[in-house]
Amino acid sequence: MPTIVILAIVGFAAQFVDGSLGMAYGVTSTTLLLAFGTNPAAASATVHLAEIGTTFVSGFSHWRFGNVDWKVVVRVGVPGAVGAFAGATFLSWLSTEVAAPVMAGVLLVLGVYILVRFTLTALPTVKTDKPLPLKFLAPLGVVAGFVDSTGGGGWGPLGTPTLLMSGRLEPRKVVGSIDASEFLVSVAASLGFLATLGAQGIDLGWVIALLGGGMIAAPLAAWLVHKLPPRVLGSAVGGIIVLTNVRTLLRSDWIGASDLVQVVVLSVIAVGWALAIAWSVRAHIQAKATASVSGSDSVSDSDSDAASDSGSDSA
């Protein structure tokens, strides 16, 4: 299958996941480009150029479905743009030999976080409607933007769980606001890479392929944000990221593992990944069953109350 077609499919899948979870487009796409042997800085630059289009369409789609809090977008997105520009400049100064394992390490940490986060815990409920303050959102934006540029992804994995755990914004608006604010981050990161690298190592055909697939998936993901089981999807994506980047690290000059060691380590990770997905599916089914029983109990209670009232009226 031609590389362009593969990249378009990956762009579609990555944006579908990102638009549903509020994370993983950059991490997934950059992981693939690194696997193709792309220079780390060029890989991140390619992904961020594509993200200018995908985040615009995704943000617009989420806005149309009422999933965006614009105050949060501005308060986290502008500082995020500053951090992203700084991160792009920093990564461009690193040599390929140093940047490749560094980026793989960052992606691995993010992948483990996504895998554990969605396998073991459910999304928290909103505890208050108080607005998120700038003193909380600005530092988050700077750090997440810097990691996003240097790691080829990270805006969603850092921003989405942090906002969810704050309990001050409902999940659909967390996802929509993070996706919308990522447009500012993508523009700033791209400007940073272009200012330091120029167009060196950036394949416009790859950018267009990732962009095309992502733009097709963005509206669908925004619509399905209430329908998908996030735990299962998050576990699946996290496992892919962990497996791929462990492979990159094992083959790097820093570790230089033998073929046998690579096979053993990757096999163990693959088994763990399969178990994580099975656990997430089981948890999702149990949650649905519990919700169904609770709903039935509520209906039964209502029927009993109605019967009692009817008896009283007859008396």
Given phi > 0 = left and psi -120 to 50 = alpha, else beta, which region is 234?
alpha
Above 90 in pLDDT, residue 188? yes
Confirm whether 306 is domain-assigned.
Answer: no
pTM (two decimals): 0.65
Confirm whether 299 is domain-assigned.
Answer: no
Above 50 in pLDDT, residue 76? yes
Number of domains in the chain: 1
pLDDT in tens, 43-57: 778 888 888 888 888
Above 60 in pLDDT, residue 125? no
Confirm whether 315 is domain-assigned.
Answer: no
List, in order, residues 6 or more apart from 87 with CB less than 8 Å away: 145, 146, 147, 148, 149, 150, 189, 192
**CA-CA distance, 53 to 67, in Å (whole number)?**
19
Give me the residue label for tokens 């649905």: 288
Q: What is the dihedral of CA 50, 54, 55, 61, to 10 degrees?
A: 170
List, in order, residues 6 or more apart from 26 with CB less than 8 Å away: 18, 44, 47, 48, 51, 148, 151, 152, 153, 154, 155, 156
Confirm whether 284 is domain-assigned.
Answer: yes
pLDDT band, residue 259 (cuts 50/70/90): confident
pLDDT in tens, 84-112: 999 888 877 866 556 667 767 776 887 78
- What average pLDDT does the chain have? 77
Mean pLDDT within 244-261: 80
Confirm whether 312 is domain-assigned.
Answer: no
Task: Domain of residue 224: give its range.
Answer: 3-293
**CA-CA distance, 231 to 290, in Å (whole number)?**
16
Confirm whether 169 is domain-assigned.
Answer: yes
Confirm whether 84 is domain-assigned.
Answer: yes
Copy the structure tokens of residue 96.
């390929």
**CA-CA distance, 26 to 153, in Å (whole number)?**
4
Above 80 in pLDDT, residue 303? no
Mean pLDDT within 111-116: 81
Confirm whether 236 is domain-assigned.
Answer: yes
pLDDT band, residue 19 (cuts 50/70/90): low
**CA-CA distance, 125 to 138, in Å (whole number)?**
23
Least confident of 61-70, 82-91, 157-166: 157-166
